[in-house]
Amino acid sequence: MRTALSAVLALTVIASFDIHADKPPVEVDMRNVDLHLTSDISVHIRHLRGRFIAEGARQIPVLDDPRSYSVTVDTGEVAVDLASLNAIMNRTLEGHSNVRNLQVSIDDEGRLRQKGTVKKGVSVPFDVKARASVTPDGRIRIHSESVKGFGVPVNPLLKAFGLEMDNLLKVDPGRGIAVEHNDLLLDPGKLLPPPAMHGTITAVRIEHNELVQIFGSGAPRPLTPPATSKNYIYWRGGQLTFGKLTMTDTDLELVDEDPGDPFDFSVDRWSEQLSAGYSKVTAQRGLKAHMIDFNDVKKKQR
């Protein structure tokens, strides 16, 4: 039965709460979700189990404000495609490093190929081929195996003068990229736009033109009781605010109405997807919001 969201949640919303009380985190479980963080950056959540944690002055996570919460990932598998990876790297480096016009691709050997220009007195075009691995502290290490400048090998020249990449490449602190010898160390928690995503990355691999990150054990760990749909975002416990409403002892499942492809979900414009769908109250006074994909919303608006 279709109904207005405010009426559906009337029995599950609290109007006020003690902001000084300790609040339990909101547990979250996602499966097969294309999560749009900005217009040009998205991550594919193959599966994820974690917690939404309130950030800043907020006492509870507010879905309308991605800066009001962070996502702590306990276990999961998250992939970033080349288009998003290029957007992330250029967003991070442009104006904050001596690198210009960076382009990232994947070569036939499954290595990350990085082409661009580094300004060190003069502008030097570079072409670096590198392997991805994980550091003991959970960052992604991009280890350079081949470095060319002006189309010729640079590795022997650097070695002859006792130089390494960190002598040439400079990145402002706090940008999520550190240069260590001939390697780049990437911190996804700082590289991605809000909401921040934290967790221990235990493995990384290149697969189907995507950089795949494994968090924790990497094994799926559904909530109990589990979500009922194929592709979903499911929150349980704690308090969560969305729109004008606050849900206590949260039981909210966003259901993909087209399970034949990933659930296309926008962090900034999810309310458009919500209003285009419909909602149902469960016997346990939870809420299931059936939503169309964000890319289908955009098609209808044209």
- pLDDT tens digit sequence for 232-262: 999 999 999 988 889 999 999 999 999 999 9
Residue 302 has pLDDT above 70, yes or no: no
Same domain, 251 and 180: no
Mean pLDDT score, 28-45: 96
Asked, as a colleague might, if the bond just before 156 is cis with ω within 30 of 0, I would say no
Domain annotation covers residue 21: yes
Does residue 195 lie in a domain region?
no
User: Does a structural domain hold residue 194?
Assistant: no
Same domain, 265 and 297: yes
Predicted structure pTM score: 0.84
In a domain, 240, yes or no: yes
Average pLDDT over residues 133-143: 94
Q: Is 32 domain-assigned?
A: yes
* Confidence band, pLDDT 50/70/90 cuts, at residue 13: very low
- Give yes or no for residue 225 having a pLDDT over 80: yes
Domain membership flag for residue 192: no
Between the alpha carbon of residue 5 and those of residues 99, 143, 151, 242, 287, the distances in Å are 48, 50, 60, 11, 9
Q: Are residues 138 and 180 in the same domain?
A: yes
11: in domain:
yes
**Does residue 193 belong to any structural domain of this protein?**
no
- 222 to each of 30, 134, 229, how far by Cα in Å? 8, 26, 12
pLDDT tens digits along 56-114: 888 899 999 999 999 999 999 999 999 999 999 999 988 888 888 889 999 999 999 98
The total domain count for the chain is 2
Residue range of the domain that includes 148:
83-187+200-212
Q: For residues 72 and 128, state if they share a domain.
A: no
Confidence bin at 27 (pLDDT 50/70/90) = very high
255 contacts 232 by C-beta, under 8 angstroms: yes
Q: Does one domain contain both 205 and 115? A: yes
